[in-house]
Amino acid sequence: MKLIEVTDESKCCCSCKHNIRSINVAWGCVCRCDKDGHYIGYIANFTEVCEEWETESQGNQSIN
């Protein structure tokens, strides 16, 4: 998956519905993308976005 630098602060990995957070005893909170499983680092959460970025509200819209 190709990640690009954020140009709109409201769009970043931390606000994407595909960002799955889990707790790891050694590392604390670990974020992974459920699209391809890649690890999302702390800084990348706030500075990167992919073409498949999607919010919960966008995912619930129906296509007419």
How high is the pLDDT of residue 64? 37
DSSP 13-34: GGG-TTEEEEEETTTEEEEEET
| 48 contacts 6 by C-beta, under 8 angstroms | yes
Task: State the pTM of this model.
Answer: 0.73
If you count them, how many residues does the chain have?
A: 64
- Domain positions in the chain: 3-51
Q: pLDDT truncated to tens, each residue of the chain (64 aa)?
A: 788 888 887 889 999 999 999 998 887 899 999 999 999 999 999 999 988 898 876 655 444 3
How high is the pLDDT of residue 21? 93
